[in-house]
Amino acid sequence: MQRLLLILIFLFCFQGSLITHAESTLKAAFIREENLWLKVDKVEKQITNDSRVDSPVWSYDGKWIAYTKKDGIWVYDTLGMKSYQVYHEGGSNCQWAPDKNVLAFQDRSVLDISDIRLGKPKSFTNVALGVSSFSWMPDGSGFLVSSSANLLPNGWTNPILFKVPLGKDLKVEDLIKNVQQFFTIPGNLKKGNIEILAIGTSSFEWSADKKWIAFIVHPTASWSMDSNMLCVLSSDGKKFEPLDEMASGFAFNWAPSSNLLGYIQGGGRMSFGFKNKHLKVKELPALQSLILTPENFVDLSFTWQSDKNVIVSRSPEIEWSNKPSKRALPILFRIDIQNKDQKQISFPPIGYGDFNPEFLYLNQKLTWTRSNWGNNDVWISEPDGKSAKKWIENVDYQHSVSWYAPME
């Protein structure tokens, strides 16, 4: 009996060590020379070799990677090491369900899903029509979608948000009757001296307690490159608030476990100069605001390390140049948002900058792209920037890496 007990203890400890190792595994999908690659710890594997690949996205359990090619949407089975085509001729904006292997995507204004829970993609199903943007509901029960405003002879209509529930069998009996109108966005949004025409929205991000939804409202296409409005909406649809102006392509993200919303505030595209971009944090519902960017500096991107700390990619203000060597070359800083203590934690060589920090909560690692606006390598370090090392060489561009990075 005692010997059996010792064996059981050994097996339990061994299994625990395997689980710990699995949880600490680093997984990244990335694009090199227009092809999809996968790196798991120290092993790299090329997945495609025949086409331009874009937008790799991990499933919630790390078993699948969705990606787009010029001939449609594909998924790669990381266990079976095989790719399957989900959709032919088009498709974009791939998003995995937060709790199951079901892939949602758009073909222009049609929202579709493909069920991959049985290990192979089934035929896709239409879910909603007239969709300009969408996100899964936090519990995977359906979608929050937006419709764009339309220009009529008497002016613009309003963007509208809808809820689109899904049944357990994922069947949609009626594309119209299934839809629930949720909120109508005002036609003009104003904050201070900034006013925009509301035409469409970005995807949606929920706060940690799921009581608030953050999203961008944008005007017409050319205008939106320079000026959009970051907004928040209560999850019951009763309180709506425009927060601040943002330029196209800049980030907003909630803190991991509190109602703190971080974002890069400021209008104007980068070709107007590396200026007027400030990291701000708003607390909901009080809407108290912190500005964390020093004078004469610009913040390009950031990541939450905890509810207390953010990592930001920061540069002195500088004019845009067509010569890459004369553009901004940012450095990473770690900011304690409670006391505003700010410390440099990356030290790129001359001619290089550190862009797009991302904190991997499960692995407790900090990653970023080191670039000279031409050559791009992925680096990784401890949370404080120590023990920094190059982890992936030669990715195609600064945003071409997708980490398998669940919160827990």
Q: For residues 6-31, give the mean pLDDT.
A: 55
| pTM metric for this prediction | 0.91
**154 domain-assigned:** yes
User: Is the pLDDT assigned to residue 5 strictly greater than 50?
Assistant: no
Least Cα distance to 334 among 359, 355, 312, 303 occurs for 312
Cβ neighbours of 246 (radius 10 Å): 24
Number of domains in the chain: 1
- What CATH number does residue 120 fall under? 2.130.10.10
Residue 66 lies in domain: 29-184
Q: What's 167-204 look like in SS3?
A: CCCCCCCCCCCCCEEEEECCCEEEECCEEEECCEECCC
**175 domain-assigned:** yes
What does the block give as tokens for 168?
């357990």
User: 3-12, 207-216, 316-325, 388-397: lowest mean pLDDT where?
Assistant: 3-12
**318 domain-assigned:** no
What b/e string do you get for 19-49 counting C-beta neighbours within 10 Å, with b at 16 or more?
Answer: eeeeeeebbbbbbbeebbbbbeeeeeeebbe
Percent of the chain with pLDDT over 70: 94
**243 domain-assigned:** no
Please check whether residue 299 is in contact with residue 293, taking contact to mean a CB–CB distance below 8 angstroms.
Answer: yes
Q: How much is the mean pLDDT over the chain?
A: 91
**108 domain-assigned:** yes
pLDDT, residue 370, reads: 98
Helix (H) or strand (E) holding 23: helix 2-23
Please enumerate in sequence order all residues whose Cβ is within 8 A of that of 62, keeping only pairs 6 or more positions apart, or say none.
Answer: 27, 78, 404, 406
| Angle at CA of residue 197, ends 193 and 203, nearest 5° | 105
**44 domain-assigned:** yes
Cβ neighbours of 138 (radius 10 Å): 16
Phi, psi of 33 (to 5 degrees): 50, 45
For residues 111, 249, 64 and 107, what is the CA-based torsion angle, rounded to 10 degrees? 20
Helix (H) or strand (E) holding 46: strand 43-46
- Give tens-digit pLDDT for 99-122: 999 999 999 999 999 999 988 887
**138 domain-assigned:** yes
**56 domain-assigned:** yes
What does the block give as tokens for 191?
């904050």
User: Is the pLDDT assigned to residue 19 strictly greater than 80?
Assistant: no
Please check whether residue 311 is in contact with residue 299, taking contact to mean a CB–CB distance below 8 angstroms.
Answer: no
pLDDT, residue 123, reads: 80
What b/e string do you get for 250-267 counting C-beta neighbours within 10 Å, with b at 16 or more?
Answer: bebebbeebbbbbbbbbb
CA pair distance 396, 389, nearest whole angstrom: 19
Q: Which residue has the tokens 């594909």?
A: 74
pLDDT, residue 7, reads: 37
pLDDT, residue 46, reads: 97
